[in-house]
């Protein structure tokens, strides 16, 4: 029988892989890795992280070494992004 927590973990990882979401992966040792989860072993022991710094490499991580996986939030709010558009246009008018 599959535990509910194990099933929800697999669904969460499936979602992150399918959407290509950039994530912070915190290891038990306190190290933070940032990248896109390329694949996971589907109930197994590992996942593969594609780091932002090098799109050609994959890092294999053991699930027992991972403390937390969280998506990276967009750093600009809608208001800040709109204000930035006005600044970038040069004349104060919206670029759209």
The total number of structural domains in the chain stands at 1
In a domain, 46, yes or no: yes
Distance from the Cα of residue 19 to its chain's centroid: 9
Q: What angle do CA 31, 37, 43 make, to 5 degrees?
A: 95
Distance, CA of 50 to CA of 86 (rounded, Å): 34
Q: Which two tokens stand for residue 86?
A: 């006005």
Is pTM beyond 0.75? Reply is no
pLDDT in tens, the chain (96 residues): 455 566 788 889 999 999 999 999 999 999 999 999 999 987 778 999 999 877 788 999 999 999 999 999 766 555 555 555 555 555 555 444
Which CATH number belongs to the domain containing residue 30 in this structure? Answer: 2.30.30.100
In a domain, 79, yes or no: yes
In a domain, 34, yes or no: yes
């Amino acid at each position: 029988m599959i535990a509910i927590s194990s099933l929800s973990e697999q669904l969460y990882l499936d979602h992150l892989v399918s959407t290509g979401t950039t994530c912070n992966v915190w290891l038990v040792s306190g190290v933070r890795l940032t990248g896109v989860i390329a694949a996971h072993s589907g109930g197994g022991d590992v996942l593969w992280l594609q780091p932002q710094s090098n799109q050609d490499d994959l890092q294999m991580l053991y699930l027992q070494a991972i403390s937390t996986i969280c998506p990276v939030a967009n750093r600009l709010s809608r208001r800040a992004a709109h204000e930035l558009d006005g600044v970038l246009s040069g004349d104060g008018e919206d670029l759209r």
